[in-house]
Amino acid sequence: MNRTANRSSGRPPAFSYREVRKGFLRRRPVGSALQCDEVALERLAERFGTPLYVYSASTIRERMASFDHAFRKVPHTVCYSVKANSSLGVLRLLAGIGCGFDVVSGGELERVLRVDRRASKKVVFSGVGKTAQEMLAALETGVMLFNVESEAELWRLAECAARTREKARIALRVNPDVPANTHPYISTGLQQHKFGIPIGKARKLYAQASGTKYLRIAGVSVHIGSQITDVQPFALAMERVAELVRVLQGDGHRIEYVDAGGGLGIDYQDASPAGFAEQAAEYAAALLRPLRGLKVHLLLEPGRSIVGPAGVLLTRVLYRKTNGPKQFLVVDAAMNDLLRPSLYDAYHEIIPAYLDVNSARHETVDVVGPICESGDFFARGRELPVVNEDDLLAILDTGAYGMALASNYNTRRRPAEVLVDGKSVKLIRRRETMDDLLRPETQLR
């Protein structure tokens, strides 16, 4: 089997190749079909059409269990970052295993409440631009903690809390001025970024907040960015947070929580589950070492590291095309379905949903979508097994920031989403219709 197949066969139980022995795929040349858990992806494409997002419930559970296990020695709550993948089916799965949630908008909070209203007690409300309406809604539902990002926001929250006569439990999100060594668009821990309060100004603001009737100081929060694969920046940020916590405790503040944020990255070229437990353990050690001796409850906000490798985007080859020396595969998915390659020049491995064991031919191609933008691509100059028109491709590691960033650009309908659990298949979001897209618009006659 070729290098691509070997890589995917290291992803049990989800997204591995299995030899086809019977069923409708047996009419194909002798080969192996890519499966999600125990379901062939080609079967899902036949049933639900393409483009199609497919998620593995078993992978989400396993990665969450590994993450939780890494922090087992300290009081902690895992608050899944809803922005990574906000599908109600995914949120319901996570709520069912006792997960908390990190939200950054009133809409995300409403999604959590639709899944389980009791989950609000384990919700952290983050975000740099919360509106008064969002604050009031969060106060009404009794969220666990507000991560406050500016002095102006602090006093707006105090006003809202006074109106509702509900105490708002707060943590100031401090900006530790730590470089995260990630893409500049998803780095958030430097002074040049819009996020957080400079750590040197936090002590004074905590003192001012402590005298406000409807604000209750409860913690300190930090988040330095996303898709960070080196744990050293996390350790450095936590050292600065731990130092601040000791100062605040010395000032008489009761600091119950330290919110370490999220940002743990995945290797998009080798995201095998086998290595995740070790990665989570290394991450835990980096965070916990600076906090030793502090009696705090740790809040963690993983997103991508939990759901990223649990999803694929299925797309069908529409056309093969040659422009001079360039070879193109034009597929039916586009940048509106998966924006990361266009937005971040991000790498996603692409593999066929069916491998012919008698063919070892490869070619170098650009995999592109049908949108009228040169930026509409999934891979450039990528070596892939030779595929034909109407063949199915799987774009891997799209469980995070795939559907969450999707749009209707070019008046394209967004994909359907399917959750697979062993042999069970659930449609958790149907494909949009044209009526869905046009219904909100007012037509002028």
d(C-alpha 119, C-alpha 122), whole Å: 6
Which of 187, 166, 185, 165 lies closest to 176, judged by CA? Answer: 187
Rg (CA), the chain: 23
Token representation of residue 174 = 């401090």
Whether 36 is a known active-site residue: answer no
For residue 192, give Cα distances in angstroms to 177, 185, 196, 222: 9, 12, 11, 15
**Residue partners of 170: CB distance under 8 A and separation at least 6:** 145, 146, 147, 148, 154, 157, 209, 215, 216, 217, 218, 219
Burial of residue 152 (CB within 10 Å: 0-12, 13-18, 19+) is exposed
Catalytic residue of the set 36, 79, 160, 372: 372
The CB-side HSE value for 332 (13 A sphere, CA atoms) comes to 19
d(C-alpha 116, C-alpha 337), whole Å: 28
The total of other beta-carbon atoms located within 10 Å of residue 3's CB is: 9
d(C-alpha 332, C-alpha 339), whole Å: 14
The total of other beta-carbon atoms located within 10 Å of residue 231's CB is: 16
Token representation of residue 69 = 């296990």
d(C-alpha 250, C-alpha 244), whole Å: 10
Where in the sequence numbering do the catalytic residues fall? 372
